Amino acid sequence: MTTSGVATLGGGCFWCLEAVYEQMRGVVSVESGYSGGRTDDPSYESVCSGVTGHAEVVQVRFDPSVAGYRDVLEVFFGIHDPTTKDRQGSDIGTQYRSAIFTHGEEQASTARELIAHLEAEGVFADPIVTEVQPLERFWPAEDYHRRYYRRNPAQPYCVMVVGPKVGRFRERFGRLLRDPGELSPGG
């Protein structure tokens, strides 16, 4: 698959983003990880400390013939608050910032155009603070983060935070919802 079929996004806790994108039509795989910082081979603990500069991100691989990069970004802006700097709900810190790490100038242009469109339409009451910057490196998260929501749906954070975001995606983006019989990424 070409780089046009990869998006790297930070929008708060990566468990939320992963759970949503696993349900999106055209998504081939979703991997949680870290990007945008200055520390090599970061761990969850070091990223949570706020000293690495990394954001929690997901790397979404998608089939552009089914769902395009703009579709991936529209979902991204529809499921998190891009107007709060270094915060998503009660998750506070630079690791929870809203960020789009682009894979080339075409993605950067698409991201900036969509942000300008959302601003012009007044979709959000406050200005969008989402960073748009080239991806330098993606560091995969530890194995225990993979498919976290699917494995832990009754965990309190999943019930109170992840579940509602998944519900919002299902409600707002029905046209992009995976068919019931279609396998999600990771089986």
Catalytic amino acids? Answer: 13
Q: CA 167, CA 163: separation in Å to the nearest integer?
A: 6
CB of 8 closer than 8 Å to CB of 59: yes
Residue 32 in tokens: 């949680």
The residues with which 177 forms a beta bridge, in sequence order, are 24
Residue position matching structure tokens 């979902």: 75
**CA 141 to chain CA mean position, Å:** 14
Residue 132's nearest CA partner among 105, 161, 172, 167 is 105
Q: What one-character DSSP code corresponds to residue 69?
A: H
Residue with tokens 């708060």: 12
Three-state secondary structure call for residue 120: helix
